[in-house]
Amino acid sequence: MFCGVPGCRVFQTVFNVGAKVLPWRRAVPVTGSGAVAKIPGLLGQLGVARPMVVTDRGLMESGTAGVVLGVLEDASVRYALFDRVESNPTVNTVNCIAEQYRAQRCDGFVALGGGSPMDAAKAAGARAVFPNKTVNQLGGLLRVWKKIPPLVAVPTTAGTGSETTIAALITDGETRHKYAIMDLHLIPTYAVLDPDLLTGLPPAITAATGMDALTHAVEAYLCWTYNTAESIRFALDAVKGIFANLEKTYNDGNDKGARMAMLEASYNAGFAFTRAGVGNVHAIAHTLGGLYDTPHGIANAVILPVVLEDYGERVFKKLSALSEAAGIARAGASDHEKARAFIGAVRGLNERMGIPRGFDFIKDEDIPRMIAWADKEANPLYPVPVVYGKKGFARIIQRIRR
């Protein structure tokens, strides 16, 4: 930890002053059924003549990627294709994308998929402008500081918000350490939010990615220092949208209205946490993704209610406001009661969508690494309502074991 709680709070206060002068922006949203048809025009506006499309095998096999590739082909856009991004993209994958990008003389990216292809494309963009730096050297906060090639992000899930965030999550294939590259230059130029790409998405993926978006919104809203009026509004809107639409999309994958609402909620949550930060839930979840390839949304969903309970009265007032935004607060209830209702509602979503209450695969010998990685990630940067030291992270990890 960074000199204990006081040291973390001093760092966060100073960083917040500097953050106010940074050139924050959001990816420009291009929304609605059939929005992917606009991708060639967007590339033209950006001056991109040979984009690299970054996606994964699942989307190629399902035909979803073919929809976007067909749009490019119909518009005579010459593109390169990398379709081997894994669920937790590795340093090696990023390097392969960057090498192919240079070899095929590409001049921009179209990232198609969930958070993994978008994160891999962002990191490859950073490597493209810093060919002599390793991915590890670019990891951390504000280490890119150079404009990356234009990036059009096309999410096929409603969860990660990577289409408008500063972050790219990458896993070191040797150590299994999952870490973030965070820089304002990684924010995509356009976010194409097309519900047609999500119809028929399997319920399990719908659930996991939706809970990922909820965690982003909740952690952003609870942040101690970095929030702005805009990020608070986006977080509240995201929570409201997710509680109103997530189960609709889980139960009926062809509900385009609910799918569109979830895409917008995911985008809003992504912007909220880009500006305000995430917290201890994410710090622990990333260790599970790195060590065990646990889907990020599932990790967040399991950890979120445990951490909220652990925070206790420090977050009652804010959870009360989230409870009201979600439409689950009982009239006349106290902040404590509304907070408890919100945590119960999160658990209820998990249970109804088949998300487990804990994990049985966490090994005793891995726990020291998990604690160290989570502590290094969270402190001193994350402006959490309760700063965890190693004991705090150990406590939560034990509570999520089954």
Helix (H) or strand (E) segment spanning residue 155: strand 151-155
Q: How many separate helices (H) and strands (E) can be counted in the chain?
A: 16, 9
Residues 145 and 209 in one domain: no
Rounded CA gap, 125 and 188, in Å?
Answer: 10
Tokens of 44: 């033209």
Asked, for residue 299, whether it belongs to a domain, the answer is yes
Q: How many domains does the chain have?
A: 2
Residues 210 and 155 in one domain: no
Tokens of 367: 């726990």
Asked, for residue 24, whether it belongs to a domain, the answer is no
Rounded CA gap, 357 and 348, in Å?
Answer: 11
Pick the last residue of a domain from 150, 181, 197: 197
Contact 127, 92 (CB under 8 A): no
Rounded CA gap, 191 and 36, in Å?
Answer: 10
Burial readout 215-226 (b: 16 or more C-beta within 10 A, e: otherwise): bbbbbbbbbbbb
Cα-Cα-Cα-Cα dihedral sign, residues 136, 142, 148, 151: positive
- Give the pLDDT confidence score for residue 200 in this predicted structure: 84
Residue 339: Cβ within 10 Å count: 26
Domain that includes residue 116, residue range: 32-197
The model's pLDDT over 63-108, given as tens digits with 9 standing for 90+, comes to: 999 999 999 999 999 999 999 999 999 999 999 999 999 999 999 9
Which CATH number do you get for residue 177?
3.40.50.1970
- Give the pLDDT confidence score for residue 1 in this predicted structure: 43
Residues 235 and 283 in one domain: yes
Listed residue (367, 354, 363, 346) closest to 303, CA to CA: 346
Residue 293: Cβ within 10 Å count: 13
Residues 58 and 207 in one domain: no
Tokens of 337: 């009661």
The model's pLDDT over 113-139, given as tens digits with 9 standing for 90+, comes to: 999 999 999 999 999 999 999 999 999
Q: Which ranges of 20-104 would DSSP assign to H, the alpha helix?
A: 39-46, 57-62, 64-74, 91-103
Asked, for residue 86, whether it belongs to a domain, the answer is yes
Residues 209 and 193 in one domain: no
Pick the last residue of a domain from 197, 222, 249: 197
Asked, for residue 169, whether it belongs to a domain, the answer is yes
Rounded CA gap, 289 and 361, in Å?
Answer: 12
Asked, for residue 126, whether it belongs to a domain, the answer is yes
Residues 101 and 116 in one domain: yes
Span between the terminal Cα atoms of the chain, in Å: 28
Contact 378, 388 (CB under 8 A): yes
Pick the last residue of a domain from 134, 163, 197: 197
Residues 148 and 214 in one domain: no
Per the omega criterion (within 30 degrees of 0), is the bond before 29 cis?
Answer: no
Rounded CA gap, 118 and 333, in Å?
Answer: 42
Residues of the chain with pLDDT under 50: 1
Phi, psi (degrees; rounded to nearest 5) at 77:
-85, 120
Asked, for residue 297, whether it belongs to a domain, the answer is yes
What is the Cα 377 distance to its own chain's centre? Answer: 15
Asked, for residue 274, whether it belongs to a domain, the answer is yes
Residues 298 and 362 in one domain: yes
Residues 159 and 76 in one domain: yes
Residues 392 and 281 in one domain: yes
Amino acid at 305: P
Asked, for residue 75, whether it belongs to a domain, the answer is yes
Residues 269 and 311 in one domain: yes
Phi, psi (degrees; rounded to nearest 5) at 105:
50, 50
Rounded CA gap, 396 and 256, in Å?
Answer: 37
Residues 131 and 236 in one domain: no
Which CATH number do you get for residue 211?
1.20.1090.10
- Give the pLDDT confidence score for residue 177 in this predicted structure: 95
The DSSP result for 224-282, as a single string, is SSS--HHHHHHHHHHHHHHHHHHHHHHH-TT-HHHHHHHHHHHHHHHHHHHHH---HHH
